[in-house]
Each structure stands twice: as C-alpha cells, then as structure tokens.
Amino acid sequence: MNKDRKNDQFLYIILAVLFAAVAVIIMYPKVTSELQPAVQTQTGGVLKGESRDLMREVESVTEESSGDDFGQLRTEAEGL
C-alpha cells in the first residue's frame, strides 16, 4: 500500500512539473513582452504588446544620408 502511495505521489509530482513547464513555455513570451517598456507615440499615446514591437521595428529602420557622397563628388569636380 505504502509503495503504491509513493508511486502515486511520484507520478503526481512528475505531472505537476510537466504542467508547470508547459505553463512557463506558454506564458514566458507574454510576460517578458509585458515587462518591456511601452512605446510612446508622437501624439502622446502609448503602445503596448505586439503593436509596440511593430513600432520598434519601424523605428529601427534607419535612413542613410547621401550628403557625404555628393560632398565627395563636388570635391572631385573642383579638379575640372
């Protein structure tokens, strides 16, 4: 009886650990996403969740300046 009870307890522990692992896998991205600071828009509103992530992606796209290129070209043209 004792042995059966110990086996059952062991099984319950395993199941509990499995459920906990599944819960962590599901909840981890959502929790870490919520912990990140919100993004404030130019109109003063605040974005959260996936919208905030998308806005960050847009902001990460940087413009390149062609000013340096034309500066160099103009310098070369002085030699004409």
Contact residues for other proteins, defined by CB under 8 A: 38, 41, 43, 45-52, 54-55, 57-58, 61, 63-64, 66, 69-70, 72-74, 76-77, 79-80
Q: Are 53 and 38 contacting, i.e. CB atoms less than 8 angstroms apart? A: no
Q: Are 75 and 65 contacting, i.e. CB atoms less than 8 angstroms apart? A: no
In this complex, which beta carbon is closest to other proteins, that of residue 9 or of residue 41? 41
Q: Are 58 and 74 contacting, i.e. CB atoms less than 8 angstroms apart? A: no
Which residues, at least 6 apart from 34, have a Cβ–Cβ distance to it below 8 Å?
48, 49
In this complex, which beta carbon is closest to other proteins, that of residue 4 or of residue 78? 78
In this complex, which beta carbon is closest to other proteins, that of residue 2 or of residue 60? 60
